[in-house]
Amino acid sequence: MTTDRRVLVHPDRAALAASVAARFLTKVIDLIEDEGEAHIVLTGGSVGIEVLDAIAGSPARNSIDWSRVHVWWGDERWLPRDDDERNEKQAREALLDHVPVDEAKVHPFPASDAGLSLEEAAAAYEAELRAAAREGEKHPVFAITFLGVGPDGHIASLFPERDGPTVTTIGVIAVHDSPKPPPERLSLTLPLINTSERIWLVLAGGDKAPALGLALAGASPADVPVAGVLGRKRTVFFIDQAASAEVPEALVMPTSYWTGAMDQKDWMPGGS
């Protein structure tokens, strides 16, 4: 199985969100047709939620059999279930409340008011991953994992100069020292993220350009966590023009962005 990294540059945030949404809808339809279901990992952040908004706003959303989609999260803030800052709540308001998902297949991280410690919550999410896995496996096969990227290069809740990016086990960790509030969080580890077949990183803004440039130039994941991201089949950075300032030209795909009207083979060699 081959894997590579590619960068797709979009003229602005609106085009970025619309393009990723269109690609997601087409890919999930194909995945369900081929495999019967699709395990998707969502991210928080403003651009990630804009993508979910664009998916919800597309008429093509009704072409997906949402009952066959499992929804996971890459990380979560340790807050009460109804807190507006939880990634889960934002994703539900943007997309999940508007499509007929099977609630049994929506897998949010435990909330701080669930009666668990942070470590117990991490163990509980690992147990939920095992329960949804194929026989003999410890976690499901993630077909698409969405990630945002912070200006410091963090992904999920794996921050530079913290222990998170250097954890070598496939699993879920409790984060006690996030430099962004709240300090306590839950996160998939980088080795678990990298079991994903496809990792789609979605980022916008000139403040992300330095971290992206360092990541693509081979920085240490301990210093720039996004540098350690590599999906099993494909890793795609969907970015806007502002975030592209320091991207090596050789990594930029010749087609700036994809829309539903374009043939997949014209958009990305080998599909995604």
Tell me the per-residue pLDDT of 85-129, one tens digit each, with 9 for 90 and over.
Answer: 999 999 999 999 999 999 999 999 999 999 999 999 999 999 999
DSSP string computed for 142-179: EEEEEE---TT--BTTB-TTSSGGG--SSSEEEES--S
Q: Mean pLDDT of all residues in the chain?
A: 91
Per-residue pLDDT, 3: 58
Nearest CA-CA partner of 268 in 240, 235, 245: 235
**What's the sign of the alpha-carbon dihedral 53, 79, 43, 15?**
positive
Averaged over 4-17, what is the pLDDT? 92
Pairing outcome for strands 198-203 and 234-240: parallel
Sequence spans of domains, the chain = 5-239
Task: Give me the pLDDT at residue 2, please.
Answer: 46
* Interval 54-70 mean pLDDT: 97
User: How far is Cα 190 from Cα 33, in angstroms, rounded to an integer?
Assistant: 29
Residue-level length of the chain: 272
pLDDT beyond 60 at 170:
yes
Q: 130-166: per-residue pLDDT in tens? A: 999 999 899 999 999 999 999 999 999 999 999 999 9
Task: Judge whether residue 22 has pLDDT over 50.
Answer: yes
Cα–Cα distance, 13 to 27 (Å, whole number)? 21
- pLDDT at 257 exceeding the cut of 60: no
Give the right CATH number for 5-239 from 3.30.530.20, 3.90.1150.10, 3.40.50.1360, 3.40.50.12780. Answer: 3.40.50.1360
Which among 251, 242, 268 is positioned nearest to 215, based on CA atoms?
Answer: 251
Which of 262, 213, 229 minimizes the C-alpha distance to 142?
Answer: 229
pLDDT at 171: 97
Please tell me the pTM assigned to this model. Answer: 0.91
